[in-house]
Amino acid sequence: MNFNTWMEEKIKKTEEYLSNFVEVKDNPQKLIYEAMNYSLLSGGKRLRPVLLLGTYEMFREDDEAAMPFACAIEMIHTYSLIHDDLPAMDNDDYRRGRLSNHKKFGEAAAVLAGDGLLNKAFETGLKAALEYNIGTERAVKALLEIARSSGSDGMIGGQVVDMFGHEKISTVEDLKYMYSLKTGAIIKSSVIAGAILGGADEKELNALEIFAEKTGLAFQIEDDLLDVTGTIEKLGKATGSDEANNKITYLTFATIQEAKNEVSSLTAEAIKSLDVFGEKSVRLSELAGYLTSRDH
Amino acid sequence: MNFNTWMEEKIKKTEEYLSNFVEVKDNPQKLIYEAMNYSLLSGGKRLRPVLLLGTYEMFREDDEAAMPFACAIEMIHTYSLIHDDLPAMDNDDYRRGRLSNHKKFGEAAAVLAGDGLLNKAFETGLKAALEYNIGTERAVKALLEIARSSGSDGMIGGQVVDMFGHEKISTVEDLKYMYSLKTGAIIKSSVIAGAILGGADEKELNALEIFAEKTGLAFQIEDDLLDVTGTIEKLGKATGSDEANNKITYLTFATIQEAKNEVSSLTAEAIKSLDVFGEKSVRLSELAGYLTSRDH
């Protein structure tokens, strides 16, 4: 199977699973299910679930048991977008070419839909942990990685630095720290959770950590590049918004060519770190290339 | 030990534990720890943790192992208050006699502090599940109860009905449904999680479900009564606010005397349901009495 077909199949399967987690029941709180599903099923790129599944597949043949954890990560990613779009945060009216959650359902419902998805992520993971046939303990370890990566020392912490700490970002290292929290942490936990569920040993986990850190940073720099060089069709949002918002990005500290070179070398290093796995890591290598060259 | 001393000790221990979960590190995201702790350590009544610990104690002598789960519930309760207070929600400037989180830190930080506490609740519970010496599976089951009770078919669902579904509340049964989600679900999961962690059997869990449902409803009706009859000193917030806000409460459907009678009989039924435990349940009986007569 070639990479594109493999990727499409993973995305399709993830979306099938996602559509079953929030059942729209006809009860007085029906609005919350609708608001949650509106954003959850709005056709994102599903990169984080695919990363988890691609890693899991290096260790196990059937990805069925990993699906709830992949979906839990996507729920967390989705909730973060809903809250980020709120007027008090980034104040974005559109997301993925559609009205953002609060423009569609109002601010109160959007806050609650985000809360509901974060909560549902852990509910989904905990339920799966009890059913996970390779062991509840292993599942809890994977879920704990996800929890840490999405909290105040992960994604939420990164969002705080992005919103309130820009005056403290004076070097590219400061920026990389922020990126490692804001986007890097969950990309890393997608990989590590997949590996833990699959039964990776210490040495394999170490290699995958390096892979995930380098891929995550390359992905974020690529995102900064796309904001400058991309088109609205490719991104589903306005380009040049970082510059218009006076946002500090990688391009504050580097030229476009330097940034492109950095993405290339990070990607090469990420792929190199997979050597220990031999042939088994072909999907992850392809994924690293895919994530960091989204202009194709 | 008399009830008040017991209660004070549980609250003190809960607060000691709570103060250790969100470490304030001197890093660029420091603001998030401060915003989380501001609300978490603002001296609430800690009713939910005490309910969990009181139930756990019926089955185990030492409550140490149950503390992280008790604290996780308090984190969830606290996050819900932060988000409820937001301008787009109830728009409350004060909470527990202090500025509400968004008045102190701004709306964006308050949204993120709430998210951070919800996330931290599960991180705390998952970490404890791995360390729980009576078994990870039992701990996951308890945590799953908590997750369900706080989600879209629990507390968040209840908040949605309270905010958007008032035109659908035309009978006292509709109101009781909303209460069973908004406040009842977490009160119930506090009791049930404590029982699961302690190792309760099916029959004991059934008795405790009845206890928790009746106590939870009595607690909420008492809250409605206090809004009318209480003083600002006792509640830490303005009284008569429900009426001023045209809010539907139990007193929309009953007189003050009828509501008082209902609280009394629910409390008596709750205590009666504990008969199966004999002497062991004395703290829970006392707690039911305490929760439902807060005007003393």
Q: Look up tokens 């690293």; give the residue.
A: A288
**Domains of chain B and CATH, by start:** 3-291 (1.10.600.10)
Q: Find the helix packing angle between A30-40 and A107-131, rounded to 10°.
A: 80
Question: Each residue of B68-121: pLDDT tens digit?
Answer: 999 999 999 999 999 999 999 999 999 989 999 999 999 999 999 999 999 999
Q: Which of A108, A152, A169 sits opposite B29 (nearest CB)?
A: A152
**Average pLDDT in the B129-150 region?**
95
**CB atoms B106 and A88 under 8 Å:** yes
Q: Quick one: tokens of A123? A: 């509910």
C-alpha span between B296 and B293 (Å, rounded): 6
**CB atoms A28 and B161 under 8 Å:** yes
**Average pLDDT in the B1-20 region?**
96
Q: Look up tokens 């679930």; give the residue.
A: A49
pLDDT at B295 over 60: no
Task: Give the residue ranges of chain A where pLDDT is below 50.
Answer: 296
Confidence band, pLDDT 50/70/90 cuts, at residue B147: very high
**CB atoms A83 and B112 under 8 Å:** yes
HSE value, Cβ hemisphere, 13 Å, CA-based, for A86: 27
Give the chain B residue nearest A106 (alpha carbons): B88
Q: Which of A83, A120, A122 sits opposite B115 (nearest CB)?
A: A83
C-alpha span between B296 and B294 (Å, rounded): 5
Chain B residues whose CB is inside 8 A of the A148 CB are: 123
Q: Which residues of A62-74 are buried (b: 16+ CB within 10 A; e: fewer)?
A: ebebbbbbbbbbb
pLDDT of residue B296: 39
pLDDT of residue A168: 87
Q: List the single best residue of A118, A122, A146, A166 to mutate versus B (max B Cβ within 10 A).
A: A122
Q: Is B165 helix (H, G, I), strand (E, B) or coil?
A: coil
pLDDT of residue B263: 97
Question: Each residue of B49-72: pLDDT tens digit?
Answer: 999 999 999 999 989 999 999 999
pLDDT of residue B55: 98
**B98: which strand partners?**
B95
Q: Which of A32, A89, A159 sits opposite B157 (nearest CB)?
A: A32
pLDDT of residue B168: 87
In degrees, to the nearest 5, what angle opens at C-alpha A159 toward C-alphas A154 and A161?
95
Q: Find the helix packing angle between B47-56 and B3-21, rounded to 10°.
A: 110
Give the chain A residue nearest B136 (alpha carbons): A137
pLDDT of residue A3: 96
Report which secondary-structure segment, H or E, holds A65.
Answer: none
pLDDT of residue B239: 64
pLDDT at B235 over 60: no
Q: Quick one: tokens of A262? A: 């950095």
Is the ipTM here above 0.85?
yes
pLDDT of residue A296: 39
Confidence band, pLDDT 50/70/90 cuts, at residue B166: confident
CA distances A86 to A19, A38, A110, A176, B109, Å, are 24, 15, 8, 25, 12
